Amino acid sequence: MAIYHSVTDLIGHTPVLQLHKLEAGVCDLFLKLENQNPGGSIKDRVALSMIQEAEKQGLLQPGGTIVEATAGNTGLGLALIAAQKGYKLILVVPDKMSREKIFHLRALGVQVVLTRSDVGKGHPAYYQDYAQRLSKEIPGAFYIDQFNNHANPLAHSTTTAPELYAQLDGRIDAIVVGVGSGGTLGGLQAWFAEHSPHTEFVLADPAGSILADQVETGHYGEAGSWLVEGIGEDFVPPLAKIDGVQKALRISDREAFITARELLKVEGVLAGSSTGTLLAAALRYCRAQTSPKRVVTFACDSGNKYLSKMFNDDWMRQQGLISRPENGDLRDFIALRHDEGATVTAAPDDTLSTVLARMRLYDISQLPVLENDRLVGIVDEWDLISHVQGDSQRFGLPVRDAMTRNVEQLDKSAPESALKPIFDRGLVAVVMDNERFLGLITRTDVLTHWRNRLEQ
């Protein structure tokens, strides 16, 4: 096997996997595993291409500063390469980006500037406008601008397209792509127009994005909102070459996330939310065909960046994307059910230090205390403060010394109105089935359940 001397040498030449366990009708469906790039996404290609072109043109000097607006993966690719080449990197990112991506970027030494994801182009807080303004304020900074940088599609016309064509022996009937900056679509179209003009391009667009409207009607209205990261836009990116797309499919967040989870479950591929959108569209396209076709789409990035979101059942329920069967009682309000093994608990003999660590790890502020699966108390942050009182040695004391034993409980059959008096006293609701502990209900749980009930 070859020995490489830089992670940048590992970018590209990603494998293609034929999918056999997802129902694709009469078609053969292939997935190009761009999540196998060293930065975990297809955007490694783009980042390397843009930085190399900027160096060739003298736009980047040694030790210089790169500024970019990104929903995540381009930023990770830029961070990987900037770290190898000694550039400083400032990224302006919308606040819907997953925590894993932000942690990854900061670990690579990136200065991350969070901005609003609920505003459109032209607003000063819009991530692209913000990044462009920032680059002008910093002496010598270079705004790499993936949305207008022709080295973006160049990455795909010179590497991704010919790779894909060779891997499938030149037999590709349709390619399903998403559009963020538009570089993937624009670059692939440019190459395939010359080498395989019969290949059809299908747009996978998050429901709420305006791009499917543009494909179908030639114009668009106001954009909606979506949770999928990295693709979908409220404007038509100039690099995308949307006019060359023959068909567009709108994919809801629910369908995208469930498809990505199914991809992991049945095919063993851990991929992100945009992959779920592309794959859902590819499956829909394949199932609509009456004659066999060879269809390709992409695992755009790795799903390990979405473990706290798309692959987290509790987060999915909070967003109203999955739900349990309704019981018609207080059990419906419990986010973390004890009978599902989801409740984080403490034992009377656990130390206060252990309890605090669990609170921090799971981002919660109170734990039920169970002994032999029987509820004996509850411990929250206020109990810790009251008991420790600045004496760090007291973190070694057992939970039984600090927990609240007089816990007001509600039977699962109690009316919904019984929750408010408990919340008025600053407490959480403890739900029981006779002597059996079922879980806790917080104010947030109630608000989430009400919102999901409205959306249903």
User: pLDDT per residue over 337-379, tens digit each?
Assistant: 898 888 999 999 999 999 999 999 888 888 999 998 899 999 9
**Domains 44-143 and 327-455 alike in fold:** no
Closest CA to 174 of 66, 60, 292: 292
pLDDT at 1: 67
43 assigned to active site = yes
pLDDT at 427: 86
Name the pLDDT band for 305 (thresholds 50, 70, 90). confident
User: Is the CATH code 3.40.50.1100 the one for domain 44-143?
Assistant: yes
Domain residue ranges of the chain, discontinuous segments joined by +: 7-41+153-298, 44-143, 327-455
Q: Which amino acid, one-letter code, is at 382?
A: W
| Owner of token pair 């304020």 | 137
- Cα–Cα distances (Å) from 344 to 102, 246, 362, in that order, read 26, 50, 8
Two tokens, residue 271: 């991929």
Alpha-carbon distance of 46 to 152, in angstroms, equals 5
Res. 158: pLDDT tops 90: yes
Q: Which amino acid, one-letter code, is at 313?
A: D
Residue 326: DSSP 8-state: P
Closest CA to 31 of 23, 39, 20: 20
Burial class (CB in 10 A: 0-12, 13-18, 19+), 60: buried
pLDDT at 30: 98
**Superfamily, domain 327-455:** CBS-domain (3.10.580.10)
SS3 203: strand
Two tokens, residue 28: 């053969």
pLDDT at 436: 92
Closest CA to 276 of 194, 207, 219: 207
Name the pLDDT band for 202 (thresholds 50, 70, 90). very high
- Cα–Cα distances (Å) from 179 to 17, 242, 339, 346, in that order, read 22, 9, 42, 47
Two tokens, residue 454: 């409205």
Q: Taking residues 82-105, what's their average pLDDT?
A: 87
Report angle CA 417, 423, 424 to the nearest 5 degrees. Answer: 95
Residue 130: DSSP 8-state: H
Q: Rounded to two decimals, what is the model's pTM?
A: 0.83
Alpha-carbon distance of 335 to 200, in angstroms, equals 44
Q: Lay out the sheet containing 65-69: strands in order across.
A: 111-115, 88-94, 65-69, 141-143
- Mean confidence (pLDDT) of the chain: 92
Residues in contact with 269: Cβ distance below 8 Å, sequence separation at least 6, in sequence order? 17, 31, 33, 35, 263, 299
Asked if 419 and 444 count as a contact pair (C-beta separation under 8 A), the reply is no
Name the pLDDT band for 335 (thresholds 50, 70, 90). confident
Alpha-carbon distance of 384 to 391, in angstroms, equals 11
Give the largest Cα separation in the chain, rounded: 76
Alpha-carbon distance of 390 to 388, in angstroms, equals 6
* Count of CA atoms in the C-beta half-sphere (13 A) of 239: 25
pLDDT at 450: 86
Alpha-carbon distance of 359 to 103, in angstroms, equals 20
Candidates 43, 101, 293, 412; catalytic one: 43
Name the pLDDT band for 289 (thresholds 50, 70, 90). very high
pLDDT at 323: 81
* Class of domain 7-41+153-298 (CATH, top level): alpha beta
Alpha-carbon distance of 164 to 183, in angstroms, equals 16
